[in-house]
Structure 1
Amino acid sequence: MSSDTLTDRLTLAVERGRVPDLHGVVAVRHGRVILEHYGEGEDFRLNEPLGRVRFTPGTLHDVRSITKNVVGLLYGIALADGEVPEPREPLLRHFPEYPDLAEDPPRAALTVEHALTMTLGLEWDESAPYTSAANSEVAMELAPDRYRYVLGQRIVDEPGSRWSYCGGATALVARLIEKGTGRGVADYARARLFEPLGIARFEWSTGADGVAMAAAGLRLTPRDLLAIGRLVLDGGGGVVPSSWLKAALHPHVRIDEGSGYGYHWYSGDTWTGGFGNGGQRIYVAPALDLVVAVTAGQYDRPDQPTASVVLDEVILAGIRP
């Protein structure tokens, strides 16, 4: 199906109110752009209002939890250089500043892989809005020591037994990268991932302590998200080791009947990708040779359908016979 037809499908979806707060979408199939669209709407940098924004190809946008996908890729790059521990290594061995926590046998059994797969088994709840300290990720950012806050949470499940969404796990993974490389995660990302992908401009929000918010702080453009998705489609593109990417995309733990979680990447039967609060999306479908990036402004709403409508009703429905 031609890109003009996909554009027509998207225009109709916009006119019918099916894709509220759509800020941007770029899709590439067989190496060719089949859809690119930018909208206009109210936007935020985390909880900071930015007013009404007219989006363009160069407009940076919060990607929220797609930041986690980036951290997962960075870990693989650092691991290939021998700068971070293997996934099966004990986690607290690499946080010697907390000897009291390591004295607790169940906590000492935590591994790096438990953090990479979000199966730490710790008490953690991100169901409250990301404007509330009742949200565990927000509470982590407010804590005097974010890493002690995460590692000190009560163990409520057998580690490795159940997936539980946890921005704190990403904070720990990013800290291992910083400890091992001696560089802030944003600087490391710039040199080892973004510049090789041609991403010259980005922002990474920090907490009050000046530390990059590893779980949700990145701001990129839809084209940047697409570049990351194409790297995944290409098996790492010579930037991320293919062996790591294979491990990262493998569903190490089941989330539900249709999806699983690898090393900070989601996987389904025919796709892999990332999701961010508000409707941010990277979608990679190898069998279709398709990569889609979406940005939207449905932050903190219980229902955030825009990205799914763009993907399912516009793109996938449009390219299939």
Structure 2
Amino acid sequence: MSLPLLPMFLRGAVLGACLFCLSAAAAEVWPEADWTPASVPAGPSLAAFEAYAFAPRDDLTREGVRSDAVVVIRDGRLIYERYAGPTQVDTPHLAWSVSKSIMACVLGVAFSEGRFQLDDPVQQHYPAFAAHPDIRIRHLLNWSSGLAWQEDYEYAPLKSSVVAMLYTRGRADMAAFVAGFAADAAPGTRFRYSSGDSNVLAASLKQMVGPAYADYPWTALFEPLGIRSAVWERDASGTFVGSSYAYMSARDLARIGLLMQRGGRWKERQLLAPAWLGFVLAPYAGYHPEPGQEDEAAPAGQWWLNRLPGSSARPWPSAPSSTFAALGHWGQALYVLPEQKLVIVRYADDRDGSYRHDEFLKRAIAAFASPEGQP
């Protein structure tokens, strides 16, 4: 069996799924209604991790590293969790742009069901995109549509395309708003991070699945994984805001991380096809970090990677190159470390840019990567 598109670190997981047997099932631990707990690490490594992740919190100034929740899963077992601020174990926390990676998993189920192909023109599934006939689904997934989009936030609201889409001119029909943008590059030739691209994917899914759309994230993904806390806002046109507005508890988000860590398989079901994983976890070839942004993760298919295209460099040097993540505004993160069999969810309220992925991961690996709490 050949898996030429699948990253090396996930080939074993997918081959294991293809060769699934009862003895293997008995050896694996999967969450049922809740996670199976395991021994909580202790000692200096855990203390050092908590000193960084849960530093004294000032809710007046909102300065510094401000974790709302951290959940750590090792090999299918819950080994650590802690909450701060208003967030509790059952709180459906706003995921911000982690929503993009969740939507990529929903789309991955649709892809695995044969509902679309990566090279389909977007207009085939979203006719409002007829002015952009050369843009393919793969371009939206890589944030390489070529549209003249400005992904600025509260620091530059007047020129921000995403602020206009979410809050002003575009909020009634976000995908239609994006469709009205002109192109300033050929599709597939340039990376430009765009919540607009992500919301056009969410609108395309609507035609792919038809009347089932309103329930599809639940029937396709959340219910098979046992996710019960999920909430997903839709715009006035009925389209899920796939860029930004999914909510779920930290424990439930960790289920998506375990699905990805185990090669798209949940128990005996292969929910995500190997070809899908091979695409969404491959570095976008057209990406080159800008000076001063070398510590930024590399874009893939609505996921982020700790390896650059055509290079051995790691944006997060303390973590393995196989690490990948879903990342969101103000510090939201779902980290997957396949070699360590770790899934780490971090919800946060970071406001001043002081949080560093590499520092968090360095301390997390030291605290959680082995039963003894050593890397």
Unaligned runs of 5+ in 2: 1-38, 58-62, 307-320
Q: CA deviation digits over 1:146-199, x for unaligned, max 9?
A: 333212312112221121110111111111111110146552111110111110
Q: Which residue of the partner structure matches residue 146 of structure 1? A: 174
Q: Which residue of the partner structure matches residue 24 of structure 1? A: 69
2:196 is the alignment partner of 1:168: yes
3-state SS of 1:182 partner? helix
Q: Which residue of the partner structure matches residue 103 of structure 2? A: 71
Q: 1:97 to 1:37 in 2, by over 3 A?
A: closer
Q: Which residue of the partner structure matches residue 14 of structure 2? A: none
8 Å contact kept, 1:279–1:296: yes
Q: Greater CA deviation, 190-199 or 178-187?
A: 178-187
Q: CA deviation digits over 1:2-38, x for unaligned, max 9?
A: 6123542344333566963211001122333332111
Q: 1:244 to 1:160 in 2, by over 3 A?
A: same
Over the matched positions of the two proteins, sequence identity in percent amounts to 27
Q: Which amino acid aligns with 1:260?
A: A
Q: Which residue of the partner structure matches residue 45 of structure 1? A: none
* Count of residues in Structure 1 that have an aligned counterpart in Structure 2: 298
Q: CA deviation digits over 1:212-260, x for unaligned, max 9?
A: 2110000111111211111100001122223312221111333536643
Unaligned runs of 5+ in 1: 41-52, 102-106
Superposed, which structure 2 residues align to 1:1-321 within 5 Å? Answer: 3-5=41-43, 6-13=45-52, 14-15=54-55, 20-40=65-85, 53=86, 55-83=87-115, 85-97=116-128, 99=130, 101=131, 107-129=132-154, 132=157, 134-141=159-166, 142-143=169-170, 145-183=173-211, 185=213, 187-237=215-265, 238-253=270-285, 254-256=287-289, 259-268=297-306, 269-298=321-350, 301=351, 303=353, 305=355, 309-312=359-362, 314-318=363-367, 319=369, 320-321=374-375
What is the deviation of 1:73? Answer: 1.2
Q: Which amino acid aligns with 1:263?
A: G
Q: Which amino acid aligns with 2:360?
A: V
Which is strand-richer, 1 or 2? 1
What is the deviation of 1:133? Answer: 5.7
CA distance in 1, matches of 2:49, 2:243: 31
3-state SS of 1:3 partner? coil
Q: Which amino acid aligns with 2:139?
A: H
CA RMSD of superposed structures (Å): 2.6
Q: Which amino acid aligns with 1:138?
A: V
8 Å contact kept, 1:283–1:292: yes
8 Å contact kept, 1:130–1:138: no
What TM-score do you get using the length of structure 2 for normalisation? 0.72
CA distance in 2, matches of 1:7, 1:183: 48
What TM-score do you get using the length of structure 1 for normalisation? 0.83
